[in-house]
Amino acid sequence: MPHDEEPLRPLDRTEELLVRALGHVMTALPRLVDADMVRDGGLPLSEYTPLMHLSEAPDRRMRMSELAAACNLSLSGMTRVVNRLEKQGLIRRAKCQEDLRGWNAVLTDEGLARLREAWPSHLVSIRRHVLDNLAGHDLAALAAALRRVATAP
């Protein structure tokens, strides 16, 4: 170990509980929200999320690679989701005009309507599983801390 590095310090009990709870949330929360959404509206979270990102993008379009990154999926995983959404008429693909090599995913009017239809179920689920359990906490500080965790080198 180089001299300028501190020796490893084990996690204390609180740190260990936090890390384990965060790991559990990362795996359990998407499953819980997905189950609620499928039960209530039939749109799985894996399809809701790209529709949401596209609805917020300029001209309701994103490069496939950007959409994959926004959804935390590989490009091949995103392609499979887009294929399903395209078959339903919720997304269409269009050549990127900037370089003509890449493809954009474009949210259709039908896709926007389906997103709006599924939104109440998503909102209720997020409130129940996340926000109701964080009542009384400083959500802005928590959001900032989680952003730092997600973007740390």
Residue 119: inside a domain = yes
Where in the sequence is the domain holding 126, given as residue range(s)? 30-151
Q: Find where tokens 């965790």 sit.
A: 149
- 39 neighbors 31 (Cβ within 8 angstroms): no
Give the pLDDT of residue 42. Answer: 79
User: pLDDT digit string (tens) for 76-117?
Assistant: 999 999 999 999 999 999 998 877 778 999 999 999 999 999
Residue 4: inside a domain = no
**Average pLDDT score, the chain:** 93
Confidence of residue 2 (pLDDT cuts 50, 70, 90): low
Give the pLDDT of residue 8. Answer: 92
CATH of the domain at 66: 1.10.10.10
Span 15-30, mean pLDDT?
96
Residue 3: inside a domain = no
- CB neighbours of residue 109 within 10 Å: 10
Give the pLDDT of residue 36. Answer: 96
- 83 neighbors 93 (Cβ within 8 angstroms): no
Residue 14: inside a domain = no
Residue 21: inside a domain = no
DSSP structure string for the chain:
--TTSPPP----HHHHHHHHHHHHHHHHHHHHHHHHHHHHHS--HHHHHHHHHHHHSGGGEEEHHHHHHHTT--HHHHHHHHHHHHHTTSEEEEE-TTTSSSEEEEE-HHHHHHHHHHHHHHHHHHHHHTGGGGTTS-HHHHHHHHHHHHH--
Give the pLDDT of residue 6. Answer: 82
Residue 71: inside a domain = yes
Question: How many structural domains comprise the chain?
Answer: 1
Residue 120: inside a domain = yes
Residue 7: inside a domain = no
Span 120-146, mean pLDDT?
96
